[in-house]
Amino acid sequence: MANKRFGLFSLLASLALIASADTGANWLEVQFPHDSPVLPVTLSLQQPGPTTATVRGASLVVDLHASLLLRNTGTKTLSGLTLLVETPDLTPAGRGSVTVPSLHAQPGEVFPVHINMQIARPLSMGRSKGPMMQLSLDCALFSDLTAYGPDKLHARRQLIVYELQARRDRHYLAGLLEAGKLAQLREELNFGLQDLNPAQLAFELLHGPTAVATNREQPLAVNTVAFPDAPLKPLSGHAEVAGNEVRSPRLELRNTSTRTVKNFEIGWIIRDDRGRDFMAGSLPSAMQVGPVETASLTQPGTLRFSHPSGQPMVVDGLLAFVNDVEFADGKLWIPSRRDITEATPDPVLRRVLGSSPEQQRLAEIYRHKGMGGLADELKRLD
Amino acid sequence: MSSGPKAHPAPEFLALDARGDLPLFSRLRVRAHVLRCSECEHTIALFQLAHTELKREAGAETLTAFEAIADWDRLEREMLGNITVGVAAARCIDNVGRKRSWYVTLAFSTAMAALFIAGWLTHIPAQETRQLTAKLAHFARLAPPPVPANLVRATPTGIAVRSDGITLTILHPPGAVVAVSGSSSAEARFVDEDTGQLTITSVYGQ
């Protein structure tokens, strides 16, 4: 009897949610300021797939597929933007974002942004009165590197880094194209082969009571890569490693410039037991480091790595490098192509160091449209 | 009492009268008839004689049985012994039943506990166990209130943040590059097949 009641409740809950999906009301609320240089034109919850609600065990799972059509209503070219995704039931414990860099939306241009999300919550929790999801503009970056938006996620700095990397990579690839170094260009773009995409990994980031030290942990020295012109250089470091878990990595850095560093981002590469390198990610740090000063950085939490198949990835080595630096005056430094080339003689490691979102996008264009398509794209954005 | 006015009393009345067992009114009527009827008087005399004879024979048989019991004390000890053995046997049977029931209960409980523990270990993630332990310790006032566990996870299909039983997952296509993007955040980078745009999705823990 109890099961029947539970089933009936679940069915009614699902029907109520599905019914409201037709209009989009109570599912997704889109909030853009009136003076925003980007405004929504239309919102569809049926693209690229239908939005559905299903009962899975004791949880209600909502698959939300939204297609938001936005218009650049400003007077400047839009280089990129970040949309903030919030779930009132989860906030402030968790939220998400969708960033579209390398946008180059001209004034008046309309462009789509797709968001595919899934929310799973216990049925016993009931339904809050407000919308299940809120979507708002966090930051919009223009081609002159000025920005608009509340920047709750500190997305402005990241968008600028993406834009600087994109300009660097486009300039480099355009130079290869102009010089007729097509073989080198093809190599940079993975020869257009799907298999030569960056190696994939999966991971878990644990905080709070879930991140507990174990007796199996052993200290592992962190190798460092220093770019010749980097204002901040990693000196040494170590982390506690147990199998596929890396805990509290620490790094010593020195500011070799004459300017005060306000923020920086450390890139981490992990090496598995077969000697393969994986770009684990970049961790930003807000730490002021004066000229010629040395700083010590400790990243909290535990990282647990695995292969995409779910098989644990044994961590055999760690490598750290400075990905970008923001000075006290707000200016940013990123490694140049020459820095990357001179940083290491290892071509595989060099490829990992030079991997950027823009290069990934251009490689995709080359894969689908060939050298002609790539040349057109580089010319369009010159 | 009789079949007619001048009829003889029924034989059972005569038999009862012979032993003096009739009620007063019936006895007076039977005695009045017997005074005038020698036949009934004779019948009563026969009943009395038979009773005397039966009594005598009964007394002789009782005496014979009593004579067979040579040692009354021994008989008493045997009877008490039999009673003691019976009581002990009953107690023994009771205990045997109770022990079996206890064993069955213990075995069933152990099996259920083992099944529960095996099910918990194979189905409940270790972090859930730690979280529950922390909550129970707080409930028992043995530990401070636990900090809500926050889990950020990146898989080939999506990046997710989970807290207090609610999970927000931002999905991405196969081939997306996932990476750590902060001390409690993860990102996925991919080119949207429909729009051709480079898209970077992120989730942030607390």
Residue A338 φ then ψ, to 5°: -70, -40
Query: Considering the domain boundaries, does residue B164 fall inside one?
Result: yes
Structural domain that includes position B163: 149-204
- Rounded CA gap, B75 and A118, in Å? 91
Cβ–Cβ of A114/B199 closer than 8 Å?
yes
Tokens (6 digits) for A340: 């990357």
Last residue of a domain, which of B68, B97, B116? B68
- State residue A5's pLDDT score: 43
Query: Considering the domain boundaries, does residue B40 fall inside one?
Result: yes
Q: In Å, how far is A326's CA from the nearest CA of chain B?
A: 16
Tokens (6 digits) for A328: 């006290």
Cα separations in angstroms, A65 against A39, A49, A53, A366: 19, 6, 11, 28
Residue of A124, A203, A212 best to disrupt the B interface, most CBs of B under 10 A: A203
Confidence of residue A188 (pLDDT cuts 50, 70, 90): confident
Asked if pLDDT for residue A212 goes beyond 70, the answer is no
- Rounded CA gap, B64 and A145, in Å? 133
Q: In Å, how far is B158's CA from the nearest CA of chain A?
A: 9
Last residue of a domain, which of B33, B48, B68? B68
B80 touches A: beta carbon within 8 Å: no
Last residue of a domain, which of B68, B87, B112? B68
- State residue A194's pLDDT score: 62
Asked if pLDDT for residue A81 goes beyond 90, the answer is yes
Which of A266, A302, A268 has the alpha carbon at shortest distance from A285? A266
pLDDT tens, position by position, A271-300: 998 888 888 888 899 999 999 999 999 888
**Quick check: A240 and A303 in contact, CB under 8 A?**
no
Cβ–Cβ of A119/B169 closer than 8 Å?
yes
Asked if pLDDT for residue B67 goes beyond 60, the answer is no
Q: What percent of chain B has pLDDT over 70?
A: 81
Average pLDDT of chain B? 81
Cβ–Cβ of B134/A209 closer than 8 Å?
yes
**Quick check: A30 and A68 in contact, CB under 8 A?**
yes
Spatial CB neighbours of B138, under 8 Å, sequence gap ≥ 6: B144, B145, B146
Residue A240, H or E segment: strand A232-242
Number of CB pairs, chain A paired with chain B, less than 8 A apart: 206
Spatial CB neighbours of A326, under 8 Å, sequence gap ≥ 6: A157, A261, A262, A263, A264, A332, A333
Query: Considering the domain boundaries, does residue B61 fall inside one?
Result: yes
Query: Considering the domain boundaries, does residue B89 fall inside one?
Result: no
**Quick check: A79 and A160 in contact, CB under 8 A?**
no
- Rounded CA gap, B106 and B129, in Å? 26
B130 touches A: beta carbon within 8 Å: yes
Residue A152 φ then ψ, to 5°: -65, -30
Asked if pLDDT for residue A90 goes beyond 80, the answer is no
- State residue A18's pLDDT score: 42
pLDDT tens, position by position, A252-261: 999 999 999 9
Among A87, A125, A210, beta carbon nearest to B149: A210
Residue A294 φ then ψ, to 5°: -110, 140
Residues of B in contact with A123 (CB under 8 A): none
The position carrying tokens 């698959």 is A63
Query: Considering the domain boundaries, does residue B118 fall inside one?
Result: no
- State residue A23's pLDDT score: 45
- Helix ranges (DSSP H) in chain B: 11-18, 24-36, 38-68, 72-123, 126-139
- State residue A1's pLDDT score: 41
- Rounded CA gap, A309 and B155, in Å? 9
Asked if pLDDT for residue B127 goes beyond 70, the answer is no
Cβ–Cβ of B153/A205 closer than 8 Å?
yes
pLDDT tens, position by position, A14-37: 434 444 444 444 678 898 998 999
Q: Is B183 helix (H, G, I), strand (E, B) or coil?
A: coil
Residue A138 has a CB neighbour count (10 Å cut-off) of 22
**Quick check: A52 and A62 in contact, CB under 8 A?**
yes
Q: What is the CA radius of gyration of chain A?
A: 23
Asked if pLDDT for residue B200 goes beyond 60, the answer is yes
Mean pLDDT of A188-199: 67
Query: Considering the domain boundaries, does residue B36 fall inside one?
Result: yes
B154 touches A: beta carbon within 8 Å: yes
Q: In Å, how far is B86's CA from the nearest CA of chain A?
A: 52
Query: Considering the domain boundaries, does residue B158 fall inside one?
Result: yes
Asked if pLDDT for residue B62 goes beyond 70, the answer is no
Asked if pLDDT for residue B98 goes beyond 80, the answer is no
- In total, how many domains does chain B have? 2
Residues of A in contact with B194 (CB under 8 A): 48, 112, 114
- Rounded CA gap, A67 and A47, in Å? 6
pLDDT tens, position by position, A292-340: 999 999 888 888 999 888 889 999 999 999 999 999 999 999 999 999 9
Residue A50, H or E segment: none
Asked if pLDDT for residue A244 goes beyond 50, the answer is yes
- Rounded CA gap, A68 and A50, in Å? 14
Tokens (6 digits) for A210: 């879930």
Confidence of residue A214 (pLDDT cuts 50, 70, 90): low
Residues of B in contact with A113 (CB under 8 A): 195, 197, 199
Average pLDDT of chain A? 85
- State residue A19's pLDDT score: 40
Query: Considering the domain boundaries, does residue B161 fall inside one?
Result: yes
pLDDT tens, position by position, A124-179: 776 666 778 889 999 999 999 999 999 999 999 999 999 999 999 999 999 999 99
Confidence of residue B60 (pLDDT cuts 50, 70, 90): low
Q: In Å, how far is B95's CA from the nearest CA of chain A?
A: 41
The alpha carbon torsion through B198, A265, A210, B124 (nearest 10 deg) reads 20
